[in-house]
A and B are shown apart, each in its own frame.
Chain A
Amino acid sequence: MSDETQEIIGDYRYGFHDPENSTIRFDKGLSEQVVRDISELKDEPEWMTEIRVKAFRHFTERVMPEWGNCDLLNMIDFENITYFLRSSDQTEKSWDDVPDDIKNTFDRLGIPEAEQKWLGGVTAQYESEAVYHSIREDLEEQGVIFLDMDSGLKQYPELVKKYFGTVIPHSDNKFSALNTAVWSGGSFLYIPKGVSVEMPVQAYFRINAKNMGQFERTLIIADEGSTVHYVEGCTAPSYSTDSLHSAVVELIAMEGAKIRYSTVQNWSSNVYNLVTKRAVAHKNATVEWVDGNIGSKLTMKYPSVLLKGEGAHAEVISVAYAGKGQHQDTGAKVHHLASNTTSNILSKSISKDGGRSSYRGLLQVTPKSTGCRSKVVCDALILDGGSRSDTYPTMEIGNSTSDLEHEASVSKVSSDQLFYLMSRGFTEDEAMGLIVNGFFEPFTRELPMEYAVELNKLLELEMEGSIG
């Protein structure tokens, strides 16, 4: 491992990479032919090819965002990215059949073990496509469809056609256009009416190759009265060159349905993480985004909910940790499009070693949406000089019957709290770690236990040496 790479990896425990054994690898660079080739390779229906091409044209015409961290954004070299890389010829249903090198990676990440213990289904995506996929038989018998997105399109083309791009059209932003043009992998999850999936289903995304672009597409449809908890984890090796992760996630919660989407994103610090996540909540439906952002070079992610039906509810809990050379530009958007809808947003961030965290949010109540209620709370900790924290909230209120609140604070760790813990025998590092874990506690308590423990460990690692 080169010194340069070692420097980038630092304490990042998932920074290892395996030798690349791809069965198909496209040349770097993006063109209409690349888009058509991806579609042809996957033997997709013509309508999907047309959507891809249309999205590609929109991507080339659309300028880069003129807000956010433009300096970092403009450093992305779209011609130096591999847009498709197949590591395994098929998606396996048993870990034993997954190629050894890939299986070793997921073993090291603890995925097969987690599946046995507490998951209802797993998709493991390596580079551009899923290499492993399984779902518990009892869920399958109840009519739950949990597939990787490519298989979903093959097996349920009408269902995919009906909902694909309805929540996030390709013209939404430059990166949703890019994703629609070159998407590959991701999850397709459909929960039938009244079915409650009690154990979480999980997708795990791993980038292994250098200068790789991962563009998974996830579509979750929870039919009337159903509930589901979807968990997503992400890691990548550390290289001295950059990779791009640009996913699109669309959630549709029908009347009375409940979707919880939990993410612990822990990309290495050479990954651009530019993700569009949006949900539609119909009458009395609930959508919850539980979003943790620990790694990456630049993350721009604002999980959104369109509250379309009366009585719908949105809940967004997000945390961000911005370390050396990182910019976590995260937040949440809630659009109250129907009456008597409610939402809560809780955002917490920590900046350390020159890192920058930004909260960017939007709360909108349309003139006809009466009786809406919402509360937004943003808390930020800055742990040292040279680090930065920003808050850019927007509240647009269109009628006089709604009640909305926003509050935010930026501060450092209280010396009283540190003193109290150290007087009980903790070292400064331990005390700081405890305080930070406590600061993130409203987020970790919403995660499945295994994820919460893992997140606490990650934070402890990140906090090592944070004093002095």
Chain B
Amino acid sequence: MIYQKMAIPPRSEHLWRYTPWPRIHPSSTDEVPEVDDVTFSLSTEHELESISHSATTHEDIARAFLQSAGGSNNRLIISEESEPIHIDARASGHVAVGHLHLDVKASCVVLIHLIGEPEWVGIHITGKVHPNVQFSFGFINELDSNTKFLRCEDWIVERDAELEHATLSIGGFRCKSDLRSTLNGTGSTIRQSVTANAVGPRHDDEHVEIHHLHGHTNSDLVMNSACSGSSHFIATGLLTIAEGANKTDASQVFRNLLLSEKARAEAIPELEVLADDVSAAHGAATAPVDKNQMHYLMSRGLSPDESQSLIVSGFLLNAFSNLSNKYLTEEMKTRLTVHLECELKR
């Protein structure tokens, strides 16, 4: 559907309950502003192919808006195994939008690092992981603390393929992510982790959907957030298992650590199961920092801030424990550790 003809989604939809569309839109909801490109530059010799915007229409308002807005549109085809690919995504101007399609035909690691200081940034990433391919993908959001950020992703994982997907969300003032994956073939697997450090007045809304269309598919989602200041973290998940998708194993775990009186966290892990021979589970927990752990660390000579930072670090790093690709895990952990150390020094 064309964006201008779409109705604003009601807040009764969980996806828009805590970050309604008008709050994430760059201006007035009936407008599609002029945008600058988000530029992507690669660390390897792979070539980014610039492609024209397709006429595909989206039912989802965020995707339809990003399509209407335009911006850069690139495709990366990975047809041979290669060293890890680092992509620097740089946003500039007032409002910036970028589209990237990844066609993954060979096993590899891709890491996107998003930086910039525009008032508003929108990114739409789509990807297809071909049969038998093991693909690891990391996304680091390190935008300026005054930037509004909208991110949509759509992944298709084919037969016997594996997608490892890691997100580190530490930038932006108000962020809305809508990450959807479809396990489209028998034996396909997705392991996904989302780590967010919400500081100050930051608002971070992370929505993850995983759809099991076939049997013998696996998914494992872990979302960890630490919220301080007057920040607000929202984790919503939708895990669906289609009729006949037997022998599916799916789990999602949401954990929130609340560090200040005004910090808030919401967790909505949803399950829709239409097959009978499956194992599906979810868990959610929200709690303050354990006083015993604080006491233990402080009795070893650490200051209260250092103790808390160490606990937060351990908690957030743990979100990557379900990933098996060492390179991806180490990169994400390093970036998080640097970020937390900078936060401690402020």
Contact = CB atoms under 8 A, between A and B. Distances in A.
Interface of A: 66-67, 367, 380, 382-412
Secondary structure at the B interface, as helix, strand, loop or mixed, is: strand
Given A395-B267, A395-B268, A397-B256, A403 B274 contact: no
A394 B260 CA distance: 21
A64 B157 CA distance: 38
17 contacts: A367-B262, A380-B273, A382-B273, A383-B276, A395-B265, A395-B266, A395-B268, A396-B264, A397-B256, A397-B258, A404-B286, A406-B284, A407-B282, A407-B284, A410-B273, A410-B279, A411-B278
A67 B9 CA distance: 13
A386 B268 contact: no
Most buried by B among A67, A407, A410, A412: A410
Interface residues of B, number: 39
B142 interface: no
A393 B243 contact: no
Contacts of B273: 380, 382, 388-390, 410
B337 to A, nearest CB: 23
Interface string B3-33: 0000000101010000000000000000000
B329 to A, nearest CB: 26
B285 A406 contact: yes
B268 A394 contact: yes
B325 to A, nearest CB: 28
A412 B278 contact: yes
Contacts of B344: none
B259 interface: yes
A399 B256 CA distance: 11
- Chain A at the B interface: mostly helix, strand, loop or mixed? strand
Contacts of A405: 283-285
A411 B279 CA distance: 5
Contacts of A398: 264
Contact of A394 (B259, B266, B275, B276): B266
Given A386-B274, A397-B265, 7 more contacts: A385-B275, A387-B276, A392-B14, A394-B14, A395-B286, A398-B264, A406-B283
A260 B219 CA distance: 40
B274 A397 contact: no
A113 B32 CA distance: 72
Interface in B233-290: 243-244, 246, 256, 258-288
Nearest to A392: B270
Given A396-B266, A400-B258, A406-B267, A388 B287 contact: no
A442 to B, nearest CB: 18
The 9 closest A-B pairs by CB, nearest first: A400-B258, A391-B271, A406-B284, A409-B281, A382-B276, A410-B280, A407-B283, A395-B267, A397-B286
A348 B269 CA distance: 17
B211 to A, nearest CB: 14
A369 to B, nearest CB: 12
Given A380-B273, A393-B268, A400 B260 contact: yes
Contacts of B272: 388, 390
B311 to A, nearest CB: 13
A56 to B, nearest CB: 24
